[in-house]
Amino acid sequence: MTRYTSQLFPFTLIITFVFIIFTSIISAAEITSNCTIEGYVEFFPEYNKDSLSGVITFREEPEEEFKVSVDGIFTTDIGIDGIKNEDGNLRYKAELYDENEVFLYDLTNSVFNNAIELVTFEKQYIDLQICGSDSIINKVVVIKRDGEEIARAEIYKLLDYTYSDEEGYY
C-alpha cells in the first residue's frame, strides 16, 4: 500500500504545479475590447416639422477603452446652413435618453459640429459603451430645438465589423 501512496504525491504535486501556471497565465492575459457592433440612428425629414434629416453612428474603438466614437451628418431642406441660426450657433441639440426617459448624455457637439465641418479628422469620443451591460443599443436619441422635441429615434445595431491594426476597419 505504501508503494501506491508514494507515487500519488509526485502526481498531485505536478497537477498542482500545472494548475498554478495555468492560472497565472490566464490572469496575466490582457483583456481588450473586441466589440464588433456599430450603433446607428437615422432621422427622416418626413417625421419632423423642421425637415431635418441625418445619421449618427456610434463605434466602440478598440484602442480607447470604454470610449465610443460618435459621428453625425445632418441637413435641412435649405441645406446645412439650416443647422445654425443667424448668430452662427447651433439651432439643434441632440440628447441621449434611456428606455425610462432618463437623460444620459448630451451628444450635441459630437453630432452637429461634425455635420457643420463636413469633414472631421479628429475623432470625437464619449464615455459610453456599445457592448456590455451599459450598452447604448436600444437607447433613444432626441433632437430638440429651443427645448422642444423635433425628432426622436432609437439606436439600433447596424452591422458587425472586424478590426485589423494594419488595415483599419473592413
Residues 6 and 87 in one domain: no
Whether residue 21 is found in the same domain as residue 44:
no
Residues 72 and 11 occupy one common structural domain = no
User: What does the alpha-carbon distance between residue 96 and residue 135 come to, in Å, rounded to a whole number?
Assistant: 12
CATH at residue 136 = 2.60.40
Q: How high is the pLDDT of residue 9?
A: 54
User: What pLDDT, on a 0 to 100 scale, did the predictor assign at position 26?
Assistant: 47
pLDDT of residue 103: 92
**What tens-digit pLDDT sequence spans the chain (170 residues)?**
555 555 555 655 455 555 555 455 544 444 445 677 788 888 888 888 888 888 888 888 776 666 788 877 788 887 777 777 888 788 888 899 988 899 998 888 777 766 666 555 666 777 778 887 788 888 999 999 989 999 999 998 876 555 444 444 43
Q: Is residue 47 domain-shared with residue 19, that is, in the same domain?
A: no
Do residues 14 and 48 share a domain? no
| Domains in the chain, number | 2
84 and 113 together in one domain: yes
Q: Domain check: are 10 and 56 in the same one?
A: no
Residues 67 and 127 in one domain: yes
Phi, psi dihedral angles at 9 (to 5 degrees): -60, -50
Measured CA to CA, the distance from residue 82 to residue 95 in angstroms comes to 19
Rounded Cα distance between 68 and 96, Å, is 13
Entry field: residues in the chain: 170
pLDDT computed for residue 149 by the predictor: 92
Rounded-to-integer distance, Cα 108 and Cα 117, Å: 14
Are 34 and 127 in contact, with CB atoms under 8 Å apart? no
Same domain as 113, residue 48 = yes
Per-residue confidence (pLDDT) for residue 69, from 0 to 100: 81
19 and 72 inside one domain: no
Asked if residue 86 and residue 18 are part of one domain, the reply reads no
DSSP string computed for the chain: -HHHHHHHHHHHHHHHHHHHHHHHHHHHSPP-----EEEEEEE-GGGSTT--EEEEEEEE-TTSTT-EEEEEEEEBTTBGGGGB-TTS-BSEEEEEE-TT--EEEE-HIIIIIHHHHSS--S--EES-BSSSTTB-TT-EEEEEETTEEEEEEE-EEEEE--EETTTEE-
Mark whether 26 and 50 lie in a shared domain: no
- Domain that includes residue 94, residue range: 37-169
